[in-house]
Amino acid sequence: MRRLGSLFIVLAVLLSDIMCAVVAYNYCDMLWGVQYAVYSAPVSTAFLYLIPYGIGIVFCLILARFFYQKGKSKE
């Protein structure tokens, strides 16, 4: 069970890295799009991608804690 806990912690870290990359890319795209194209949304809308990634990260951390505690109780 501890391996599953470790797996979910690694998954949470990977999701946070992917989240940073996606948000940074979309922020740059929106920033240049507002300046040179006809984007009508403000640049801050790029931060809306934080919501689904944040939910996924929290879910992975909850599962990791659950599996670590379940592994401790079996020892």
pLDDT for 39 equals 85
Question: Chain-centre distance of CA 62, in angstroms?
Answer: 14
Chain-centre distance for alpha carbon 29 = 19
Torsion of CA 2, 67, 75, 73, to 10 degrees: 170
Pair 71, 5: CB distance under 8 Å: yes
Domain that includes residue 6, residue range: 2-74
* pLDDT tier for residue 71 given thresholds of 50, 70 and 90: confident
Which residue, among 64, 57, 48, has the nearest Cα to 18 in the 3D structure? 57
**What is the number of domains present in the chain?**
1
Amino acid at 48: L
What is the structure's pLDDT at 75?
Answer: 66
pLDDT in tens, 12-59: 999 999 999 999 999 999 999 988 888 888 889 999 999 999 999 999
